[in-house]
Amino acid sequence: MAKYVAIVKLDPADTHSTGGIVEWIGFWEENEVDSGTVIPQPYQNSSGIIQSGYKAITLATVTGEVDENTVLNPDGVKVGWIMQDKTVALRDPNS
């Protein structure tokens, strides 16, 4: 099963913030393996664990074929948007 996700670079821990900035948006294939080896997705290590300092926020779960009617990003999230502290809401920094 694939997900369409926003990868958020989290604010440094010493700021005590739980927010961050959207750095990448795209398809994320969960537990994808090739000959028993995990195929890393962007921002994952070779074991399939997301890299420290990043968080994946699911925008849509894709169970079938993607066509022009498939809604992947209903809120129009873009790279550079911020993840609000504590609420995990993604929003345009200019709003």
> What are the tens digits of pLDDT across the range 67-83?
888 899 999 999 999 99
Laid out side by side, the sheet with 54-62 consists of 54-62, 2-10, 20-29, 82-83, 90-91
Q: What share of the chain is helix, strand, coil (3-state, %, to 5)?
A: 5, 40, 55
The mean per-residue pLDDT over the stretch 6-25 comes to: 94
Task: Give the DSSP H or E segment for 28.
Answer: strand 20-29
Report the distance separating Cα 51 and Cα 23, nearest Å.
Answer: 13
The mean per-residue pLDDT over the stretch 29-54 comes to: 83
**Average pLDDT along the chain:** 89
The band of 49, judged by pLDDT with boundaries at 50, 70 and 90, is confident
The band of 62, judged by pLDDT with boundaries at 50, 70 and 90, is confident
Q: Give the distance from CA 53 to its chain's centroid.
A: 12
pLDDT of residue 59: 94
More confident residue, 66 or 92: 92
